[in-house]
A and B are shown apart, each in its own frame.
Chain A
Amino acid sequence: MAAAETFYDVIRRQGITRRSFTKFCSLTAASLGFGSGAARAMAMALETKERVPVIWMHGLECTCCSESFIRSAHPLVKDVVLSMISLDYDDTIMAAAGHQAEAILEETKEKYKGKFVLAVEGNPPLNEDGMFCIDGGRPFVEKLKWMAEDAFAIIAWGTCASWGCVQAAKPNPTQATPIDKVILDKPIIKVPGCPPIAEVMTGVVTFITTFGKLPELDRQGRPKMFYSQRIHDKCYRRPHFDAGQFVEEWDDEGARKGYCLYRMGCKGPTTYNACSTVRWNGGVSFPIQSGHGCIGCSEDGFWDNGSFYDRLTNLHQFGIEANADKVGLTAAGIVGGAIAAHAAVSAVKRVASKREKAGA
């Protein structure tokens, strides 16, 4: 392979016209929130920079991230990123199998030491020395650490890799552990969501491979461009929230009128994601637009927080079905009862001591 092969070379070899290529650059620059100059910079980078391979590995997961990714709405995005740019290894969708496939990992480690991007879908289970997820004849956690050694950066795809997700639900028998608790010495970018939005995924890959650095991350390690606002902040039903107009039951008048789903347990106010702006399936819709509240799938612990349909979520410390109001009311009731009893005894004592005095 020619050492100087660029993204652009590969793209043209795949039969993509220059016109389509520049369109892709403009689109991606726009979706990442850059100005018009960035499209040019992106085109320049893709034309001159050496191709950065992406290695995509699968731990404990459900493949919904891959399913989302291959449905990236804009065909250009799909073609460029998936077929051309860089996906050198993805055991779920690649043609090669067995030793032939594993050989690519060795090769990439050697040839692109410190340069390739490791994208991880799912997470490693640590219990029983990682025996709950065997990949290529060895525990996935070993394969992950082995590949991470020489990676430039790691993308943690989805809520599994970012936070743990349903396989880490209490009591977490396999001890499924998010990537950033296992790999401690590499930059990690979290792209949570179950799955993440396809355009968000392609946007993140394109940014890292073209600019050779991670985008700006927030406190939780998520790219700010997609995760700095809540669903609630950009929700088209927000005016109904502020007005105090809520769906109170499925299929009531409010539901037909498209009122806010807050009272139906919508987690939009506590969920950081781009669903209400980028939306899904090519911008067709997103859960709230379809009349169902957000379940907060890109948030840490969403799988353990009780019903998707309750605004006040469960407190595990006080039993399975206890929320803040139930705990608080119970405490207030007990204390109120104690006060009443104490007041009654106080009154009796007082009368008794007065009689005593009067008698004496």
Chain B
Amino acid sequence: MTIHESIAADGEDAVQGQNVYVYEAPVRIWHWVNAFSILTLALTGYFIGSPLPSVPGEASANFLMGYIRFMHFAAGQVLAVFLILRLYWAFVGNVHARQIFYVPFWSGRFWKEWLHEVRWYTFLARQPKKYVGHNPLAQLAMLPMFTLPLFFMVITGFALYSEGAGRDSLEYALFGWVFSIWPNSQDIHTFHHLGMWVILVFVMVHIYVAVREDIMCRQSIISSMISGERLFKDRED
């Protein structure tokens, strides 16, 4: 929904009602826990794939790789738990909590607005439209570039973890089916590694677009993820 409809729906008057409550607390907490988990996971994961130079001394006196792997596993467990909570919140939260889990594929209006966003980002449209939640282009990018890769990383991550936990572990019982798809876990390592790059590329675009929208669209994007409120600075459209 665009800003005007939302404000009309909320029954607030146009002068005072420039602030809309978009992101509920669970969504905001999830966003930042998720961000720090991903940062930790990407860093430690990279060093699991390409370890640091050897440490000197006896093996019994060092546990560097062990700690790096521990951090990776711990951050992965945190990310997984919060992803489940986030999924739960998509059902009980407000309409914006659902946006990253689906694309309104059959809605003609969605694609019309999507086209306007594409035109805006390719400098063909002079004025941006303002949206209370994600704009249609963002919504379309979130699902395949972020939400689904996150689930993919959790599933393959636990499958790989089950290799060390053993064939009798809970992890293997829940995620062992991944090895029916790819019998050689070397392939799962490779795809898990590739998944990190997909998410990192997403993060780059995500941060750039958030900063750009904040400046160019005259609406709050970054602070919205802290306060939950979207502030519309003017109404040029």
Contact = CB atoms under 8 A, between A and B. Distances in A.
Contact of B186 (A299, A332, A346): A299
Secondary structure of the A contact surface, majority rule: helix
Contacts of A218: 167
Contacts of B166: 228-229
A300 B183 contact: yes
B66 A242 contact: yes
Nearest to A254: B54
A325 B163 CA distance: 23
A56 interface: no
A296 to B, nearest CB: 7
Contact of A244 (B64, B176, B183): B64
Interface stretch (B13-21, B45-53, B72-80): B45-53
A270 B197 contact: no
B184 interface: yes
A333 to B, nearest CB: 10
B164 A233 contact: yes
A183 interface: no
Q: Indicate the member of A224, A244, A339 with the most B CB atoms within 10 Å.
A: A244
Contacts of A342: 121, 208, 212
Interface stretch (A74-82, A148-156, A169-177, A308-316): A308-316
A305 to B, nearest CB: 6
A302 B184 contact: yes
A315 B190 contact: yes
A244 B65 contact: yes
A331 interface: yes
Contacts of B167: 218, 224, 228-229
A345 B121 CA distance: 10
Interface string B156-186: 0000000110110000000010011001111
B59 A335 contact: no
Secondary structure of the B contact surface, majority rule: helix
Interface in B134-164: 163-164
Contacts of A259: 54
B193 A242 contact: no
A312 B49 contact: yes
B204 A335 contact: yes
Contacts of A299: 183-186
B200 A332 contact: yes
A332 to B, nearest CB: 6
Given A230-B163, A239-B59, A346-B212, A325 B193 contact: yes
B187 interface: yes
Nearest to B193: A324
B49 to A, nearest CB: 6
Interface string B13-57: 000000000000000000000000000000000000111111100
B184 A248 contact: no
B194 A315 contact: yes
Contacts of A93: none
Given A296-B184, A301-B184, A243 B65 contact: yes
B204 A245 contact: no
B123 interface: yes
B183 A245 contact: no
A71 interface: no
A246 B54 contact: yes
A245 B61 CA distance: 11
A244 B179 contact: no
Q: Indicate the member of B50, B65, B183, B190 with the most A CB atoms within 10 Å.
A: B183
B55 A336 contact: no
B85 interface: no
Contact of A242 (B49, B65, B126, B194): B65
Contacts of B91: none
B151 to A, nearest CB: 19
B60 interface: yes
A299 B163 CA distance: 14
A219 B185 CA distance: 13
A313 B186 contact: yes
Contacts of A290: none
Given A325-B193, A327-B197, A245 B216 contact: no
B200 A339 contact: no
A350 interface: yes
Interface of A: 163, 218-220, 224, 228-230, 233, 239-246, 248, 254, 259, 262-263, 267, 269-270, 296, 299-302, 305, 311-313, 315, 323-325, 327-329, 331-332, 335-336, 339, 342-343, 345-346, 349-350, 353
Given A262-B51, A315-B194, A325-B49, 20 more contacts: A220-B183, A239-B59, A243-B64, A244-B52, A244-B54, A244-B68, A245-B59, A259-B54, A270-B163, A270-B186, A312-B50, A313-B186, A324-B194, A324-B197, A325-B197, A332-B201, A335-B204, A339-B208, A342-B208, A346-B216
Q: Can you list the 10 inter-chain pairs with the closest CB atoms, starting with the nearest?
A: A328-B197, A244-B64, A243-B62, A324-B193, A244-B65, A300-B183, A239-B59, A242-B66, A243-B59, A270-B186
13 contacts: A224-B167, A228-B167, A230-B163, A242-B59, A243-B60, A244-B68, A270-B186, A299-B184, A299-B185, A323-B190, A324-B193, A325-B193, A329-B197
